[in-house]
Amino acid sequence: MIQLSLGKIKAFVLKPILLNCIFAGMNLEHLNELKKLLSSPKKIAIIPHKNPDGDAIGSTLALWHYLVNTGHTASIVAPNDYPKFLKWMPGSDQILNFEKENSQSKACINNADIICTLDFNHLGRVGQMSEILESAKATFVMVDHHQEPSDYAKIMYSDVKMSSTCEMVYVLINQLGDENSITPEMANCIYTGIMTDTGSFKFAATTSNTHRVIADLMDKGAEGTEIHHRIYDTNSPSRLHLLGCALKNMVILEEYSTAYITMSQDELDTYNYQKGDTEGFVNYGLTLDGIKFAVIFIENREEGIYKISFRSVGEFSVNDFARKHFSGGGHTNAAGGKSDDNLEETIAKFTSLLPLYKNQLQS
């Protein structure tokens, strides 16, 4: 009896809260076009960005489960591999790796009626895969929360205020009227991406809506504690030693409220670097009192570049900084980029730019 009435209260209270009050969602014209497209079975390719993170893998998997469960033929094609700590996610064993399963991946893209690109907004973010996507005949759908989207997608759901692409997939499924089709597997995938992109619900983009979504996902079977454990409690001794090396390398420039870390390929090799091992290292800079801008430069000898992660607190836009100076972009407080120069030149360029931003960084 009690459970029944609680269930009724949940259905009565939650649904209007989730649907009517809080989400801008996809614009109606685009939503209707998507509904029409999905009204008959389609062949769909789902694409995350290169070096996919928890949000990219979580959102593509949640959408994949949804589309397969609603009668479509869907495949996820990732531009390259992703960290082991994401490989427990339900459905992850079916993700194609474009670098390793090249002909199967190409066939999926070329044969697709619809291509959904998730957690990125310009085709340069998929590396080697951009050429084949540019020539694909499918209708493109974009679901993404980064700034300054380009216009390759006919159907766009772009919202820079959203915590994560996973939160957007949740909203989209609600908008499609299928909130009751969210399975525990989907709930776990969506929860994971929201958790990783919000730094466990602490970054500024975490809203009360985000928490409402998380609450509903828990009701639908997401196992928060277990997910946290699987993502964050999988350190190897060598990863902790690599972190020690990164922290030793940290340079603090108090004058500019900035801290940066460098990691050479030799250092990565010394500590048996595995994909994903440097995830989160950049954030340590921001834990220093007074630091507003944190950066990590990580060598990738194979690609001949330094991959850079930028983080900030407050108004200083690392999206603008990365876009303008390091061929990158992202969000106001988290962005990425790269440098083709050697470390010395890269750091010289970086430090020479800081005086231009001194006022912003000190305010």
Nearest to ligand 5GP of 62, 83 (CB atom): 83
Give which of Mn ion, ligand 5GP, none residue 239 binds (C-beta under 5 to 8 Å, depending on kind).
none
For residue 207, the one-letter residue type is T
**301: phi > 0 → left, psi -120 to 50 → alpha, else beta; which?**
alpha
Q: Which of 309, 312, 346, 360 binds ligand 5GP (CB under 6 A)?
A: 309
CB of 49 to Mn ion, least distance (A): 9
Q: Which amino acid is at 332?
A: T
- How far is 180 from 172, CA to CA, in rounded Å? 13
The minimum distance between CB 338 and ligand 5GP, in angstroms, equals 6
Per CB under 5 A, the segment of 49-57, 274-282, 316-324, 344-352 that binds Mn ion is: 49-57
Cβ nearer to ligand 5GP, comparing 185 with 320: 320
Q: Which is nearer to ligand 5GP, 140 or 203 (CB)?
A: 203
**Of the candidate residues 197, 216, 277, 299, the single one contacting Mn ion (CB under 5 A):** 197
CB closer to ligand 5GP, 216 vs 299 = 299
Among 50, 54, 55, 296, binds Mn ion (CB under 5 A): 55
Closest approach of Mn ion to the CB of residue 290, in Å: 28
Nearer to Mn ion, 169 or 246 (CB): 169
Nearest to 180 by CA among 15, 12, 314: 15
Contact 281, 296 (CB under 8 A): yes
Letters for 320-349 (x = contact with ligand 5GP by CB under 6 A, - = none) are --------xxxx--xxxxx-----------
> Which residue of this chain has its Cβ atom nearest to Mn ion in the complex?
55
Alpha-carbon span 139 to 86, nearest angstrom: 29
Q: At what angle do helices 54-69 and 165-175 cross, to 10 degrees?
A: 20
In angstroms, what is the minimal distance from the CB of 109 to ligand 5GP?
A: 21
Nearest CA among 217, 249, 227, 239 for reference residue 343: 249
- CB-CB contact of 240 with 276 (8 Å): no
Q: Are 23 and 15 in contact (CB under 8 A)?
A: no
Per rule CB under 6 A, count of chain residues that contact ligand 5GP: 13
Among 46, 119, 156, 216, binds Mn ion (CB under 5 A): 119
Give the span between the Cα atoms of 147 and 122, in whole angstroms.
10
Least distance in Å: CB of 104 to ligand 5GP? 25
Site string for ligand 5GP, 139-168 (x = CB under 6 A): -------x----------------------
Q: Please give the size of the binding site for Mn ion, defined by CB under 5 A.
A: 5
N-term to C-term CA, the chain: 58
Q: Which residues pair with 73 in a beta bridge?
A: 43
Read off the tokens for 97. Answer: 């790796």
Taking every pair of Cα atoms in the chain, the longest distance, rounded to a whole number of angstroms, is 70
Beta bridge partners of 117: 47, 142
**Which option in ligand 5GP, Mn ion, none does residue 330 bind, with CB closer than 5 to 8 A by kind?**
ligand 5GP
The answer to whether residues 339 and 321 touch, using CB atoms and an 8 Å cutoff, is: no
Query: What is the phi/psi pair of residue 44, to 5°?
Result: -130, 130
Residue 159 makes contact with Mn ion by CB under 5 A:
no
Reading the block at residue 70, the tokens are: 């609603």
Cβ neighbours of residue 126 closer than 8 Å, sequence gap 6 or more:
47, 49, 50, 79, 117, 120, 133
The option from ligand 5GP, Mn ion, none interacting with 335 (CB < 5 to 8 A, set by class) reads ligand 5GP
- Give residues in contact with ligand 5GP (CB under 6 A): 49, 125, 146, 309, 328-331, 334-338
- Give residues in contact with Mn ion (CB under 5 A): 55, 119, 164-165, 197
